[in-house]
Chain A
Amino acid sequence: MKMHVKNRNVAIIGIGQTSFSSHKEDQNQAEMVQEAVIRALADAGLKIGDIDCIVHGNMELFEMQFAPDLWHSLGTGAYGKDEYRITTGGTTGATLVCAADNLVASGLYNTVLAIGMEKLQEGNTTGGITNMADPLWFRNLQTGALTGTTAQEMIDEFGEERAKRAAMRYRIMMDKHAMLNPRAHRRFGLEYSQMEDLMANSPPLVGELRLIHMCSQSDGACAMIFTSEEKVKQGTKNPPVWIRDHIQIHREETIPNLFGFNKPEVTHHYAARTLFARNGIQDPVAYFDVFEMYDPSAWWAVDWLREFFLLKGDEHLRMLEAGDFDLDGRIPINPSGGVIASNPIGATAMLRPAEAALQIRGDAGGHQIKKEVRHALASGFGGTFWSVLMILEKELNWQEVSHD
């Protein structure tokens, strides 16, 4: 049986972002959303009347705004249009892109606007994630992204010094990228010479997970416009970026308990090997020119690079230490500064393909990679290890996807 057959090709033709900040008192939610939407429309050279359908996403508990898409319609332009709302936790933004891709690919709509937003300053994120848990009975513990487990596992596997230096090197690299991105929220101007100091003195959160390792809480929005190959052929203002394929892998949080202390395959690894296999990609490090990865913390980021690139042993550490993931390294990671720099949750996972697409277009500005970007990878992540992975392409020339 054939599964996941793409009916027609879909391109990203418009991208709009707000700046990301913990202080947006000057805008209400609808105004913030509209800023991103207007930028995306301008980027695509379209008017709101050209949009057939709108997909809206955020975490409603984080703003305590019931049915936020209805209120935000002042800013989304959904008046008189078909509209869907998607809420899948941290992956929301990536799920929005998957949904928009599917809606256009199916033929239901020609041109779809997807909008991810979050205004965390107005709500209580921890209340929405952790306080609702009852770890003693069915509502399992949800720590969000605050966990020291990976730090300890990496220390056990690679030794304390090397593991700690790897996480901090990644963290400082992200800050160096964020310094080139004027929209990024946290831009500290860190230097590698501060590594030892930060490793010792950044306030510890859980074990060796320290404050400096963690992502921010940001306000902001991202909007993207998707259209069909037929529409692209009629002309686009900016070069189209093609969505080749995407995959979403979920896991129920208590599954590892079934395996005792033997960890099951990480969702990221399953997503990566499945996606690459069905697209005939043998060597992802060689194939891709950039990876915009959802990196909630520096420890997870380093660990997940091994999973996503299907690396073995300490290959990911050696690559990191050699500068392969730097902005102009072999396979640059998060030229935007990543989630560690900016985390407006409902928009965060959308920023990954949005930034990857800007890299393919050559329009990323100060954090543009110097070499040509033809093949990009983007990931989304959310609670209970949801993993979304997608492949973006500059040219519409890839091999037919295998579906067995």
Chain B
Amino acid sequence: MTMQEDHKDCFVLEGKMALPNQNFAGRLGSRFLIAIRDRKKIMGLKCNPCGKTFVPPREYCEKCWTKIADNWVELGTEGELVNFTVVRYGDRHLPKKPPYILGQIRLDGADTPLTHIVEGIDPRDVESGIRVKAVFAEKTTNTIMDIDHFEPV
């Protein structure tokens, strides 16, 4: 049985709020982007006490609060797709036209996954565990999109 709700004569006023916003990468995040842009290298930050390497970068190990901001290590530009979803809706703020694969890639040498777009494989065929490699963008935007996408090795 479905519930019948009477919405007759219940009016709605449309809001018109728009909130532009920015998101600062900070000095540390910018260094990470510069390495991608200028050297085609993906850098991580390693916590020596925990033996964990984080990417994207962070100033402090979130587990033990060791300052790791200067402990850069070079990661591979290849890694394992450890998780993914298929984006099936389009909107102005999204980076690609749907459908596309948003993957989590554990780069060689990293303990945390980097989230990025996976191309070169049909969304119906993608599965966790495949090896993927970074494809760098031809033109820089000084964003994480300086890696254009990842694709199967």
Contacts and interface: CB of A to CB of B under 8 A. Distances in A.
A26 B26 contact: yes
Contacts of B21: 63-65, 122-124
A127 B63 CA distance: 36
Interface residues on B, range: 20 to 34
Contact of A122 (B15, B24, B28, B58): B24
Nearest to A63: B21
Contact of A127 (B20, B25, B27, B28): B20
Contact of A77 (B18, B25, B59, B65): B65
A25 interface: yes
B83 to A, nearest CB: 19
A74 B19 contact: no
B23 A127 contact: no
Interface string A126-156: 0110011010010000000000000000000
A221 B50 CA distance: 28
Contacts of B15: 132, 134
B2 interface: no
Interface residues of A, number: 31
A88 interface: no
Nearest to A25: B24
A36 B29 CA distance: 19
Nearest to A125: B19
B21 to A, nearest CB: 4
A128 B26 contact: no
Contact of B25 (A28, A61, A65, A124): A28
B62 to A, nearest CB: 5
A137 B12 CA distance: 11
A123 B23 CA distance: 8
A254 interface: no
A34 interface: yes
B22 A131 contact: no
B19 A124 contact: yes
B58 A74 contact: yes
B13 interface: yes
B17 interface: yes
A127 B60 contact: no
B124 interface: no
Contact of A27 (B20, B27, B65): B27
Contacts of A131: 16-19
Given A74-B60, A77-B65, 16 more contacts: A25-B26, A28-B24, A29-B24, A34-B60, A48-B65, A61-B19, A64-B21, A73-B62, A121-B24, A122-B24, A123-B21, A123-B22, A124-B19, A124-B21, A132-B15, A134-B15
Interface of B: 13, 15-29, 58-60, 62-63, 65
11 contacts: A24-B24, A25-B24, A28-B28, A28-B29, A34-B59, A65-B21, A79-B62, A122-B21, A122-B23, A131-B17, A137-B13
Those 5 A-B pairs whose CB atoms lie nearest each other, nearest first: A64-B21, A28-B26, A26-B27, A127-B19, A122-B22
